[in-house]
Amino acid sequence: MKTKASVSHACEPLVAVRRYTNPNGLTPGERVLLDALIDHGGVTKAARALGLDPKSTASRMRVVREKLSAANSAEAIALWVARRDAA
């Protein structure tokens, strides 16, 4: 029987592979969220438009900012638009 530590250790490389298979490093849901932010002009409005909880959406945006190495949401949106339009 595997211990929790051995299972966790075995899964770590898979998480990294799954997270960065997209050239932008973003999941489809994260890309939809960024597009909703562009269309609706704010995390709360985008969350409501997508039927999501605003607090969960803000948390998702922290992950998106980290993935894009953006200092704030405006920078994340600008980086996303540049990458999206370049593709």
Q: How large is the average pLDDT for residues 39-52? A: 92
63 found inside a domain: yes
pTM here is 0.70
45 found inside a domain: yes
Rounded distance, CA 11 to CA 13, Å? 6
Q: Residue 40 belongs to a domain with what CATH number? A: 1.10.10.10
Q: How large is the average pLDDT for residues 25-33? A: 90
* Averaged pLDDT score across all residues of the chain: 79
Among 87, 80, 85, 67, smallest CA distance to 35 is for 80
More confident residue, 5 or 79: 79
User: What is the span of the domain harbouring residue 38?
Assistant: 26-86
14 found inside a domain: no
Is 6 a residue whose pLDDT tops 60? no
53 found inside a domain: yes
12 found inside a domain: no
Structural domain total, the chain: 1
